Structure 1
Amino acid sequence: MSDIDDIDERFKALTAQINERERKRMSKVAAQEWARHPRLRQRRRLRNTAIAVAVLVAAAGVFVVYRPDVVDRVRTTVSDRLSGPATGETTETAEPAETAREEPVEVSPFVGSPAQKYADGAKGLVMPRPRAMGGLNRKEVSAALGHARKLLMASHLDRKVLMGGRPEKLIRLLDPEQRAPFVKGLKKPDKKKGYYSREWVTSLAPKSAELVSETFKVHGRPRLSAFRENGLRGVRVKVNYLFVYAIRRPGRPDTLTRLVAHNIGTLDAWREGGRLRFWVTHWNGGGVAPARCDIDDGFVHPFYPDSAPDRKLTADGPAVDPYSLDEGTSEGCRVLKSDT
């Protein structure tokens, strides 16, 4: 066997050992996290839940991609052995060793989760086929469905808002009578209802996370129906969507986490004064996971593997699956299913 072949074999053995050690380490971390009771949070008024559980990706391929420090150590080992031509070999025969120094192929951070099969971004926001109902014609019903879709995009697919920015697009989409109190509630909670209007969007607390991928996964099912209430007649669009983001602590590749936002909401549309009016009756009522329960400022504070225990954990009630569109919205922080 040539020196180059020997180096190749040692390289494979080294990476196999590292992968095995890493799998054991991550399994240990995962076990410790489940012992600390990952939880689900229910937000006030909007009945928004947030599940605090670290999603650990233990696949070797993902490990190589998101552990550059280990890749660098392996590269250094190989580089030291290849600093000059091997004895008895020409420079040309050393070229195959370049393969060992190639960048690893990036693996999607959604691999291994239900989100892997979800659509990318707005492609997942497929609305029902419009038809005349509730006293509105087909074109007006189509406008209502389109408005609901725009609201979802502004709430969950606007990168600026996701990273803590002001939800300008959502503000413009709100009815004028809802707009002013919404803007006020971004900084100060409603005195009567005690909630921040920022809870209508998925907005990460400043400096709490960075995106691992610019791709956001989307899955859900909207429903369209007619309504007649309080002298009004029109259509009602009920949304039930999951939005999944790959995040990590800033500068910490080892804290890769999949954040799941569940928007359960309702938009009503009716004709008034010769124009079509849109009114959000409730929004973003399904929660976010993993997020802390004990910080209530309207922002999402991700819960990572190394996060301190949450002070508002409630272990009562059945375990919850954050990827289920059928989960209820009962109050409290609840334990998450361990097979998620």
Structure 2
Amino acid sequence: MPDEEWERFLRESVEGAADAPVEPSARAREVQARLRKDGGQPQGWRTYTPARRGRRTAWYVTGLVAAVALVLVGLFPQWVVGWFGGDGGGESAGTPMAAESERPTAAPGAEQALRPTLDEPFRGSPAARWADGPDGITVPPVRATGWMDAAQVERALRRSKEFMVAAGLDSGVLRGKRPERAIALLSPHQRDVREYLRAAFSSAPPTEETDPLLLFSRFRPDQADLVGDIVKTRGRLTYREGERGAVEVTADVTFVYPVTPAGDGGADAEVIRTIVRREVVMSWDDPSKVVTEPDTMSLVSYSVDMTNGGCSGPTGYFVPPFGRADQQPADESRLDPYDRSEPVGTATGADGCATATRS
């Protein structure tokens, strides 16, 4: 062997070659043996493990579903009421019903047959879960319509609701007084309405065409007393563009009046619910096209369904059938006064009267 090769051999024997295999330590041999036995690789203490996306995606989906559900509750509360038995009568008697934003598809479900009392005048009635007074009349969202911008439409809707409140809920009018506040909202330039009002509140007996009950709720103080200060209501306003750009508002409202015979304040006094549903169409006319006055409207049409209010001919007042509430003539048509799924006037008999299937 040449001297140079011999010297390199001796030097590498002492220092070690760069590519020479390294004998593992006893500790390393022990770890390798355990891995071969258990399988896999050890996890270092600084190792980063990415988050699992399956569970996080599930939370995203759950949150999205919840958000959509909240939007639906806000936009379409009547759907949610229906899912949980709203108008179908599935809710408990003490649960208030959601506001009515569109015509229901069916009548409310049957209630437990309980007679009304002075302390609970709405007992055994769907009206027990209705709102009180003006709160039961729903006003829709506003948008520019016809000749009005959104602010003017909002004012027209507010005035339309004021008319329904003044005509059907004013305490003085209910006790027979002239409906001055409601009349003030009617255009003085509508001749046929002026003639109707003049005849309705004259001393002459009213006719079918001049009966004030077509628009206003009234009881004779010497015949009937209202039970308490609460009248239950349910209904809504809708609107669209009418003739000559007018904003035409339709009010469809049911009023439930609990009454007892006048002067009978005994604990066992009979309580009857007179139930009235009115549909009134009001036109808020463009003053540049129709002669009118500010904050007044024209009447397009008005119709009424009434039960437990008298059928013996118009008197100008509701006449509750005290002592005869359970008598139902077989020849009269039947009307569920709480069924708001049908148009007004579809269940009256030949004489304009109908017997309530419940009150």
Relative to structure 1, is the Cα distance of residues 326 and 315 closer, same or farther in structure 2, using a 3 angstrom cutoff? Answer: farther
Structure 2 letter corresponding to 1:271: D
Structure 2 letter corresponding to 1:265: V
Residue among 298, 301, 318 paired with 1:300: 318
After superposition, give the CA deviation of every residue in 1:158-213 in whole Å (9 maximum; x if it has no partner).
0110011111111211111246421343224788x742345310001341101111
After superposition, give the CA deviation of every residue in 1:223-282 in whole Å (9 maximum; x if it has no partner).
111123xxx212111111111121100233431111212111111112113966511222
Question: Percent of aligned pairs with the same residue?
Answer: 24
Bigger Rg, structure 1 or 2: 2
Taking the aligned partners of 1:184 and 1:235, their CA distance within structure 2 comes to 28
Taking the TM superposition and a 5 Å limit, the aligned residue runs for 1:184-199 are 184-187=199-202, 188=204, 194-199=209-214
Residue among 147, 152, 155 paired with 1:140: 152
Q: Is 2:301 aligned against 1:282? A: yes
Taking the aligned partners of 1:155 and 1:279, their CA distance within structure 2 comes to 15
Relative to structure 1, is the Cα distance of residues 287 and 125 closer, same or farther in structure 2, using a 3 angstrom cutoff? Answer: same
Q: Specify the SS of the correspondent of 1:295.
A: coil
Residue 79 of structure 2 corresponds to none
Relative to structure 1, is the Cα distance of residues 119 and 135 closer, same or farther in structure 2, using a 3 angstrom cutoff? Answer: same
Per-residue deviation, 1:57: 7.6
Q: Is 2:135 aligned against 1:123? A: yes
Taking the aligned partners of 2:249 and 2:258, their CA distance within structure 1 comes to 28
Per-residue deviation, 1:306: 3.8
Q: Specify the SS of the correspondent of 2:255.
A: strand
Residue 256 of structure 1 corresponds to 271
Taking the aligned partners of 1:167 and 1:190, their CA distance within structure 2 comes to 16
Q: Is 2:342 aligned against 1:323? A: no
Structure 2 letter corresponding to 1:121: G
| Cα RMSD (Å) | 3.0
Taking the aligned partners of 2:168 and 2:304, their CA distance within structure 1 comes to 13
Relative to structure 1, is the Cα distance of residues 321 and 267 closer, same or farther in structure 2, using a 3 angstrom cutoff? Answer: same
Residue 40 of structure 1 corresponds to none
Relative to structure 1, is the Cα distance of residues 110 and 262 closer, same or farther in structure 2, using a 3 angstrom cutoff? Answer: same
After superposition, give the CA deviation of every residue in 1:4-39 in whole Å (9 maximum; x if it has no partner).
xxxxxxxxxxxxxxxxxxxxxxxxxxxxxxxxxxxx
Q: Which runs of 5+ in 2 are unaligned?
A: 1-111
Q: Specify the SS of the correspondent of 1:148.
A: helix
Structure 2 letter corresponding to 1:296: P
Taking the aligned partners of 2:113 and 2:173, their CA distance within structure 1 comes to 26
Residue among 258, 280, 283 paired with 1:265: 280
Residue 84 of structure 1 corresponds to none
The answer to which structure has the higher helix fraction is 1
Relative to structure 1, is the Cα distance of residues 134 and 156 closer, same or farther in structure 2, using a 3 angstrom cutoff? Answer: same
Relative to structure 1, is the Cα distance of residues 334 and 121 closer, same or farther in structure 2, using a 3 angstrom cutoff? Answer: closer
Q: Is 2:217 aligned against 1:202? A: yes
Taking the aligned partners of 2:206 and 2:171, their CA distance within structure 1 comes to 26
Q: Is 2:123 aligned against 1:111? A: yes
TM-score under structure 1 length normalisation: 0.61
Q: Which runs of 5+ in 1 are unaligned?
A: 1-55, 67-106
TM-score under structure 2 length normalisation: 0.58
Residue 250 of structure 2 corresponds to 238
After superposition, give the CA deviation of every residue in 1:125-156 in whole Å (9 maximum; x if it has no partner).
22111110123211221121011101111111
After superposition, give the CA deviation of every residue in 1:68-103 in whole Å (9 maximum; x if it has no partner).
xxxxxxxxxxxxxxxxxxxxxxxxxxxxxxxxxxxx
Stretch of structure 1 that moved more, 182-191 or 147-156: 182-191
Per-residue deviation, 1:293: 0.9
Q: Is 2:173 aligned against 1:161? A: yes
Query: Conserved in 2, the CA contact under 8 Å of 1:314 and 1:334?
Result: no
Taking the aligned partners of 1:279 and 1:214, their CA distance within structure 2 comes to 31
Which structure has more RCO (C-alpha within 8 Å, separation ≥ 6)? 1
Q: Specify the SS of the correspondent of 2:275.
A: strand
Taking the TM superposition and a 5 Å limit, the aligned residue runs for 1:37-56 are none
Structure 2 letter corresponding to 1:300: F
Structure 2 letter corresponding to 1:315: D
